[in-house]
């Protein structure tokens, strides 16, 4: 498969890159500023245009929208959650995903049965609302909504869309106390991506295949 992964220079993105490459897939990874990856600042429309121009004519079987931020981790309601963090987070976690999909849609349409995988979080679930992390939760809920609506619209284009929780993973974002390591998360996610089809488009699943309530 021809695969593009955003935010492929570290964490889950890097592990997905490694595992896909090891099984023989052709992987293109992006990063904001890294010499080994294609340049993409997901919040910058001009950066998306430049990447799309560079990849013109390149089919993509799978687009993994992995890049994201968690800027309000550990904040408290008394003095946290500053206004600027809302705009920065939504620019990366929601608008950035939309711009990535929009700019690379021609590449996806060149593939036979293309797929889009959006890395969200179970923190997006309205059915699970324990409080805290308001900005991150809201952004992940928004990108879940985006993915569900894209799944509906893209059925006519034969493009399947899945939204996924990678687990609580020991990365810079997840922290050292998290439940699982990056290989466990990445292996599970790849199984989910492989199983994704038009029959399951719009799914919201954990890395282990558990369906997550919206």
Q: What is the CATH number of the domain that holds 40?
A: 3.40.50.720
Residue 18 is assigned to a structural domain of this protein: yes
Q: What does pTM read for this prediction?
A: 0.94
The total domain count for the chain is: 1
pLDDT band at residue 46, thresholds of 50, 70 and 90?
Answer: very high
Residue 18 burial class via C-beta count within 10 angstroms: exposed 0-12, middle 13-18, buried 19 and up? middle
Q: Which helix (H) or strand (E) holds 116?
A: strand 115-119
For residue 22, tell me if it sits in a domain: yes
How do residues 52-89 score in pLDDT, each as one tens digit?
A: 999 999 999 999 999 999 999 999 999 999 999 999 99
Long-range CB pairs of 99-105, under 8 A, 24+ apart, other chains included: 99/42, 99/45, 99/48, 100/6, 100/40, 100/42, 100/48, 100/63, 100/65, 100/67, 101/63, 101/65, 101/150, 102/48, 103/48, 103/49, 103/51, 103/52, 104/4, 104/51, 104/52, 104/55, 104/60, 104/63
Residue appearing with tokens 């600042």: 41
d(CA 45, CA 178): 34
In the 8-state DSSP scheme, what is residue 111? S
Evaluate whether residue 182 is within a structural domain: yes
- Residues 96-154 have pLDDT tens digits of 999 999 999 999 999 999 999 999 999 899 888 888 999 999 999 999 999 999 999 99
Which tens digit of pLDDT belongs to each residue from 16-34?
Answer: 999 999 999 999 999 999 9
pLDDT of residue 127: 87
Domain annotation covers residue 213? no
Assess if residue 60 is contained within a domain. Answer: yes
């Amino acid at each position: 498969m021809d695969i593009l992964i955003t935010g492929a220079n570290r964490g889950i993105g890097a592990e997905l890159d490694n595992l896909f490459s090891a099984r023989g897939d052709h992987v293109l990874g992006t990063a904001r500023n890294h010499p080994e990856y294609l340049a993409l600042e997901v919040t910058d429309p001009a950066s998306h245009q430049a990447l799309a121009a560079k990849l013109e004519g390149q089919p993509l079987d799978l687009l993994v929208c992995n890049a994201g931020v968690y800027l309000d981790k550990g904040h408290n309601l008394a003095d946290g959650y500053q206004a600027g963090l809302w705009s920065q987070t939504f620019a990366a976690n929601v608008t950035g995903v939309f711009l990535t999909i929009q700019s690379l849609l021609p590449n996806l349409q060149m593939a036979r049965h293309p797929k889009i995988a959006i890395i969200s979080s179970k923190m997006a679930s309205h059915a699970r609302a324990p409080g805290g992390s308001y900005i991150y939760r809201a952004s992940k809920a928004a990108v879940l909504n985006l993915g569900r609506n894209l799944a509906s619209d893209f059925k006519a284009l034969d493009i399947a869309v899945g939204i996924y929780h990678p687990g609580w993973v020991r990365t810079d974002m997840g922290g050292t106390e998290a439940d699982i390591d990056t290989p466990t998360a990445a292996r599970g996610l790849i199984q989910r991506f492989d199983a994704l089809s038009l029959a399951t488009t719009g799914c919201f699943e954990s890395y282990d295949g558990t369906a997550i309530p919206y």
